[in-house]
Amino acid sequence: MARAFGVSISRSAVLRLLDALPEPEVPAPRVVGVDEYATRKGRVYGTVLVDVETRRPVDLLPDREASSLAAWLAKRPGIEIVCRDRAPFFAEGATAGAPQATQVADRWHLWHNLGEAAERAVARHRQCLRVLVPDSEGKADEPAPPEEKAGSPWRSERFANRIRARYATVHALLEAGHSRRSIGRQLQMTHRTVKSLADATKPEDLFRGQWQHNRTSVLDEHRPYLDERWDEGCTNAWKLWEEIVPLGYRGSYGRVSAYLRAKRTSPRPVTAQPPAPRVVTRWILSRPETLTEIEQLRLKAVLANCPELDALTGHVRSFAQMLTEREGERLPQWLDAVRQDDLPSLHTLAAGIDRDRDAVIAGLTLPWNSGVVEGHVNRIKMLKRQMFGRAGFALLRKRVLLAP
């Protein structure tokens, strides 16, 4: 911009002028949204505070400590509502700094937490998903694999015939009086190949290596386990290798990968795979009318085969109705119903919700949420990328607060 206006000024001078600008006077908000942003993802976090009514950021804090948030809220006694996620440090800070305010748990985070708990529950009952695997039909009609000739020790008859022909040629030349060196030149073979063919008393003596039938392998005793896990739908070679190593497997990952690759590339269908737990979770979390007819039928078959997943679906849809219809007063009954079923992942979620029950009920009842705060977190990410290498907290805070 300075170049466009013909102003001679350095970048550092522009930053100093920007830092010297006065901060805008922001009236104390009545409804404030709180969320974290990362200055170094996974290591350093700060806090952004947004006026939910005007949708404007009001301040940035250099950390996400409960004490910092409590001190900021204590200076603004007019705050009536605090929108936040269920992070414990935000809950503690809001309770200490604004005890008069109503805390509202964000609905999106509640639904997201429920989705994660539902996926864990579906994964726990992945065996029930095999009801969707069709039984293989017409096995008797399938052509039988070609059988090797009786008594043949070779895996490939073509390979066997080639070795027999070479063996016969070499021995015929030896009987005709040719030297091994001469035979190598005529047949374009190395000295080692001619020697192995000449020293063998019969072609079968040359049989060795990967062409051998019934060749033992370190993987043999683990193949039943791999086949069982394959039929369960686990086709990741690395994961299966990690599973059989504690069971005593001493071979390489490449051998496991090659074994599974052969199953994948087999011309015949090995075993139909059931849907992944994430797919079934999507069916459960979706509105029934948005599913295709096939998805509805497949979900119905799964639920008919597994009472636990049927109960899970009922709890998810009941929570969805509470969330969309703003019926937060039904939350205690929903928590009691969840605890009555054998769904450990939902029990964990219910325990966390129960510790923050008032804020969750408010989130399922009041119209406020943290959506606008999430938008400003994304905007802060963009500003950080624009100022890569120069985005200290003071400059970042100034740009966030002064943005139009």
Whether the predicted pLDDT of 19 surpasses 50 = yes
Query: Which residue from 114, 39, 166 is spatially nearest to 335, judged by alpha carbons?
Result: 114
Whether the predicted pLDDT of 16 surpasses 80 = no
The whole-model pTM stands at 0.64
pLDDT at 208: 63
pLDDT at 51: 93
Contact yes or no for 34/82 (Cβ under 8 A): yes
Pick 131 or 169 by higher pLDDT.
Answer: 169
Q: How many CB atoms lie within 10 A of CB 330?
A: 17
Q: Name the range with the highest mean pLDDT among 20-24, 214-218, 378-382.
A: 378-382
DSSP assignments along 167-208, one per residue: HHHHHHHHHTT--HHHHHHHHT--HHHHHHHHH-SSGGGG--
Per DSSP (E only), the strands in 129-287 are none
Mean pLDDT of 283-312: 92
- pLDDT bin (cut points 50, 70, 90) of residue 150 is very low
Rounded Cα–Cα distance for residues 81 and 371 (Å): 15
Contact yes or no for 381/391 (Cβ under 8 A): no
What CA–CA distances, in Å, run from 184 to 52, 160, 181, 187, 193? 88, 21, 5, 5, 8
In the block, residue with structure tokens 């609905």: 107
Rounded Cα–Cα distance for residues 81 and 103 (Å): 6
pLDDT at 363: 93
Least confident of 26-40, 191-205, 368-382: 191-205
- pLDDT bin (cut points 50, 70, 90) of residue 360 is very high
Q: Can you say whether the dihedral through the CA atoms of 246, 250, 256, 259 is positive or negative?
A: negative
Mean pLDDT of 31-46: 89
For 51-70, the pLDDT digits (tens) are: 999 999 999 999 999 999 99
Give the amino acid at 116. Answer: E
What is the radius of gyration, based on Cα positions, of the chain?
Answer: 35
pLDDT at 30: 93
- pLDDT bin (cut points 50, 70, 90) of residue 264 is confident
Rounded Cα–Cα distance for residues 402 and 404 (Å): 6
- pLDDT bin (cut points 50, 70, 90) of residue 145 is very low
* Domain segments of the chain as ranges: 15-106+369-402, 108-131+276-355, 157-211, 217-273
Contact yes or no for 70/93 (Cβ under 8 A): yes
How large a percentage of the chain has pLDDT more than 70? 88
* Order of all β-strands in the sheet with 56-61: 56-61, 44-51, 31-40, 81-84, 102-105
Residue 371: in which H helix or E strand, if any? helix 371-386
Query: Which residue from 22, 21, 16, 72 is spatially nearest to 46, judged by alpha carbons?
Result: 72
Mean pLDDT of 273-295: 91
Mean pLDDT of 208-213: 53
Contact yes or no for 118/348 (Cβ under 8 A): no
For 71-107, the pLDDT digits (tens) are: 999 999 999 999 999 899 999 999 999 999 999 999 9
- pLDDT bin (cut points 50, 70, 90) of residue 390 is low
Q: CA end-to-end span of the chain, whole Å?
A: 18
Whether the predicted pLDDT of 141 surpasses 50 = no
Query: Which residue from 152, 190, 191, 186 is spatially nearest to 169, judged by alpha carbons?
Result: 186
Give the distance between the most distant pair of CA atoms in the chain: 111
Whether the predicted pLDDT of 396 surpasses 50 = yes
Rounded Cα–Cα distance for residues 299 and 38 (Å): 39
What CA–CA distances, in Å, run from 292 to 126, 286, 296, 338? 22, 11, 6, 28
Pick 19 or 84 by higher pLDDT.
Answer: 84
Q: Which CATH class is domain 15-106+369-402?
A: alpha beta
Rounded Cα–Cα distance for residues 302 and 85 (Å): 33
Query: Which residue from 331, 332, 357, 359 is spatially nearest to 93, judged by alpha carbons?
Result: 359
